[in-house]
Amino acid sequence: MNSSFSLKNPVFIRFKKFSITSYGIYFAIGFFIYLQSYYHLLILFNIETTPSESLSIGIIQAVFFIIGTKLLRVIYSIRLFKQDPIAVLRKNGNSFYGGVFGIATGTYIISSLYTRIPWITLLDIAFLSLPLFQIFIRLGCASYGCCYGHLYSGPTSITYHDPLSLAYRRVGSMPIHASQLYSVSKNIFLFFINISIFRLSPYPGVAIATWFCIYPTLRFFVDFTRASEKSKTLWKLRTSQVISSLLFILSIALLFSIKKEGPYSIGTDLLPSLLTSFFKILFALPSFLLCALAFGISFVAHQHNSELSTSKIINRINL
């Protein structure tokens, strides 16, 4: 028994010359929740941050995630970029792996600014929280019909019926793999597994190595359900599958490099830390706005109640 998705309103806010898409709002919500988890874990790791530090941590990570995801997207589309760089930069699509390396770079800068906080500690916190972010990214993909699966009529298939959906325009109302929802399930599993392993072995680098081991492995197999790319790479694999394979190899090296000395002293007073991190919501709002604009803005002149105008926005969503 398959499910169906219907795209009702891809435009969240409409202006005269551009719009903010709901895809960008999903993205921004995901980063917002990621930051709340990040702030909460900072407290559990007994790391106190001032309001200005909390604000800069959120903004720096958001900026470098945006740069990383766009940069890798440019590398993917280098030929098109040479022909029309503005068109590539305006696309709402993203490359999550690029964003991950962007966060790692931003984290290094944060550690350099606030030298009392080790880089490895900040990275562990980031990789414990990243699955929450990715959950909302894929929910945004599902709402739009991008990153859709190939034809499949089994029990986990879904169908799109809205003509503005990218999946509908490519395959019609044929049943397809629920690839975006597989990815959501993958990240829910990863979040709890990573937390559980880290609680059993709270050493610097464990959360990083666990993420690099599990996420690329699961993504490698989930990507077999994705609709074919126009161009494949080595052994007919997707580009993301090649990157996943390389990251899995890296995870093995990371696991062997972990030193079982000096485990973290993790706080157990859960309720006070939750309340304290809750009051840092305001510090995450600038990052929310940055992500909403970076991944939701579409520079297209829209006319109210125009399906053609809305369709142009959907065309800007990448696989």
Spatial contact of 316 and 90, defined as CB atoms under 8 Å apart:
yes
Q: Is the pLDDT of residue 53 over 80?
A: yes
Q: How far apart are CA 307 and CA 290, in angstroms?
A: 27
Find the length of the chain: 319
Strand-by-strand arrangement of the 297-298 sheet: 11-14, 19-21, 297-298
Plot region of 259 (φ>0 → left; ψ -120 to 50 → alpha; else → beta):
beta
Domain ranges of the chain: 14-314
The per-residue b/e assignment along 78-87, b for 16 or more CB within 10 angstroms, e otherwise, is eeebeeeeee
Residue 314 has what pLDDT? 38
pLDDT at 303: 33
In whole angstroms, what separates CA 267 from the centre of its chain? 28
Q: With pLDDT > 90 as the criterion, what percentage of the chain qualifies?
A: 35
Chain segment 195-242, per-residue pLDDT in tens: 999 989 999 999 999 999 999 999 999 999 998 765 555 567 888 888
Which of 101-115, 181-195, 295-309 is predicted with the least confidence, judged by mean pLDDT? 295-309
Whole-number pLDDT of residue 106: 95
Range with the largest mean pLDDT of 56-65, 232-241, 270-279: 56-65
Looking at 52-56, 64-68, 98-102, 294-298, which range is the least confident one?
294-298
- pTM given for the model: 0.83
Would you state the pLDDT for residue 230?
A: 57
pLDDT of residue 44: 86
Q: What is the mean pLDDT of residues 283-294?
A: 85
Q: Which 8-state DSSP code applies to residue 45?
A: T
- Quick check: 210 and 194 in contact, CB under 8 A? yes
The larger pLDDT score, comparing residue 146 to residue 5, is at: 146
